[in-house]
Amino acid sequence: MTKADARLAPAIAGNPASPAGRARFFRPTWAEISLTAFQDNLRETARVLGPSVRMIVVLKANGYGHGALALAKSAADLRGVPLWGFGLSSVEEGLALREAGIRQPLLILGSLYPFDSFEAALQSDLTPTVASRRAALALGRIAAALKRRVRVHLKVDTGMGRIGISPEAAGETLQAIEEGGLQLEGVYTHLARADSRAKTRTQMKEFDRVAALVRRRGLSPMMHAANSAAVFLYPEWHHQAVRPGLALYGVRPAGVRPSRVALRPVLTWKTRIVFLKKARPGIAVSYGSTFRTKRTSWLATLPVGYADGYRRSFSNRGQVLVKGRRCPVVGRVTMDQTVVDVTDVPHVEVGEEVVLLGEQAGNRVLAEDMARWADTIPYEILCGISGRVPRVTL
Ligand SMILES: Cc1ncc(COP(=O)(O)O)c(C=O)c1O
């Protein structure tokens, strides 16, 4: 039995009295989160940073679906990594971490409107993003009413075209920040095509213009732009801080060669065979009968489906690992169940552990593989594993 198996055993055996603090579930579909892998990835990312560069660990969307709180704690406990704080997408995400006792700075990358959300943010010492002059004015008023000294980060749109002030509007926004008594702790931008040096250079020129303007006003905030790809590709654009997300979860960013970085997937998504049958040739499987057996086959049903984030587009395309061998998904993935062909794997039984995503006996299914099957990106695969799948931290 592996360590994880030992922890899961009571739940899998259907014992409702599984020890407190452990995930309690009966349906054997779960995601294991390796904090060791996460910490290794933090170290591996920190390795390429200069001595004064800080790390804003991006934990938005519940840590890309991994569970933000456990990851925040494990990053906070880690020595030798220049942690500044965490990047989240909403005030709600920030409040959840604060209420759970996380003390590091929490930069809210989104939540720009309604402006009264700033009040809740300030009361819990979250660091808001200012992305317009109007927001700076509103935040100044709220800070004055609360009589608080408030640190903000200014978001500049240098080519992403999503949120942020244009470099031309930087002057008037900086003025509003100063007049509102806000402390400009950071200025940042986001890269639209971090895998392209040329596109990134164009954005960085715009960012430099804003940096010069800020300096002329006598301010020296922390500048930050680099996401995971830029961390590994462009040391010259690390500025005072970087904001990696994907790499910390163990996915190699697009454009980064495998030889440059050793990352380990943090999440392993597992299930077990709950039904097994021998099917003669010509048997149809699942909705629409899109698959028919061509030979006498062993078909295994897995208790996972698109309601878990196991995408319908994996139908007749995806693969899972059984005893370390890749087995194809046959027929359509349904809401709660999926059928795989295990004919080529000897001695399979009901209860056999199946890896949907991750490693088993030296073989791997990566988030990148799943993204390819679904014509999407690994981010969407990881964030898409639904709340119905219990996360078990190891
Ligand atoms: C503003 C911002 N910064 C940093 C990141 C982290 O990017 P990545 O996961 O590519 O490292 C994201 C993710 O989308 C983001 O929106």
Protein residue closest via CA to atom 14 of ligand 1:
245
Which atom of ligand 1 approaches the CA of 246 most closely? 9
Eight-class DSSP state of 288 = G
Residue 338 · residue 302 · CB < 8 Å:
yes
> Does 246 contact ligand 1 (Cβ within 6 A)?
yes
125 CA distance to ligand 1 middle (Å) = 22
Instruction: Point out the residues that are catalytic.
Output: 60, 287
Q: For position 179, what pLDDT does the model report?
A: 94
Ligand 1 centroid, distance to 245 Cα (angstroms): 6
Average pLDDT over residues 313-342: 98
- Residue 152: count of CB within 10 angstroms of its CB: 26
**297 phi, psi to nearest 5 deg:** -130, 155
pLDDT at 23: 64
Q: What is the DSSP letter of 127?
A: B
Q: Could you tell me the pLDDT band of residue 12, with boundaries at 50, 70 and 90?
A: very low
159 lines ligand 1 (CB under 6 A): no
- Cα–Cα dist 33/294, whole Å: 38
Q: Are 367 and 318 in contact (CB under 8 A)?
A: no
- Rounded to two decimals, the pTM is 0.93
Residue 233 clears pLDDT 50, i.e. is over it: yes
Reported in sequence order, the residue ranges of the chain that DSSP labels E, i.e. its strands, are 29-33, 54-58, 83-88, 106-108, 129-130, 151-155, 183-188, 222-226, 241-242, 267-272, 275-279, 284-285, 291-292, 297-302, 319-322, 325-330, 338-341, 353-360, 363-365, 391-393
Q: What angle do CA 8, 12, 18 make, to 5 degrees?
A: 60
- pLDDT tens digit sequence for 118-176: 999 999 999 999 999 999 999 999 999 999 999 999 999 999 999 999 999 999 999 99
In tens, the pLDDT along 35-89 reads 999 999 999 999 999 999 999 999 999 999 999 999 999 999 999 999 999 999 9
Quick one: how far is CA 283 from the chain centroid? 40
- Compute the Cα dihedral for 154, 159, 160, 165 and give only its sign: positive
Distance 57 CA to ligand 1 centre (A): 9
The CB of 252 under 6 Å from ligand 1? The reply is no
Q: Rounded to an integer, what distance in angstroms lies between the CA atom of residue 76 and that of residue 105?
A: 11
pLDDT at 177 over 50: yes
Q: Express each pLDDT in 299-317 by its tens digit.
A: 999 999 999 999 999 999 9
Between the CA of 60 and the centroid of ligand 1 the distance, in Å, is: 9
Which two structure tokens, joined as six digits, stand for 259?
A: 């030889």
Cβ(164) – ligand 1 distance below 6 Å:
no
41 ligand 1 Cβ < 6 A? no
Ligand 1 atom nearest residue 231's Cα: 11
Instruction: For ligand 1, say whether the CB of 186 is within 6 Å of any of its atoms.
Output: no
Model confidence at 6: pLDDT above 80: no
Cβ–ligand 1 distance for 228 under 6 Å, the answer: yes
Residue whose CB lies within 8 A of the most ligand 1 atoms, among 227, 233, 242, 380, for a mutation test: 227
Ligand 1 touching residue 189 (CB < 6 A): no
pLDDT at residue 116, rounded to an integer: 85
pLDDT category of residue 113 using cuts at 50, 70 and 90: confident
> Amino acid identity of 62?
N
For the chain, give the mean pLDDT.
93
Rounded to the nearest angstrom, the distance between the alpha carbon of 303 and the centre of ligand 1 is: 32
φ/ψ of residue 31, rounded to 5: -120, 130
Going by C-alpha positions, the residue among 348, 296, 302 that lies closest to residue 325 is 348
243 CB less than 6 Å from ligand 1?
yes
Ligand 1 pocket test: pick from 127, 207, 243, 249 the residue with the most ligand atoms within 8 Å of its Cβ: 243
- Residue 1: predicted pLDDT: 38
Q: Which atom of ligand 1 is nearest to the CA of 194?
A: 10
Buried b (16+ CB within 10 A) or exposed e, 191-206: bbbbeeeeebeebbeb
Q: How many CB atoms lie within 10 A of CB 384?
A: 17
Can you give the pLDDT at residue 2? 43
Measured in Å, residue 163 CA sits from the centre of ligand 1 at 13
> Which stretches of 154-262 are DSSP H helices?
170-179, 197-216, 228-233
Q: What is the pLDDT of residue 154?
A: 97
* φ and ψ at residue 16, rounded to 5 degrees: -65, -15
Atom 15 of ligand 1, nearest CA residue: 190
Per-residue pLDDT of 77-105, as tens digits, reads 999 999 999 999 999 999 999 999 999 99
Predicted confidence at residue 13, as pLDDT, reads 36
| Confidence tier at 22 by pLDDT (50, 70, 90) | low
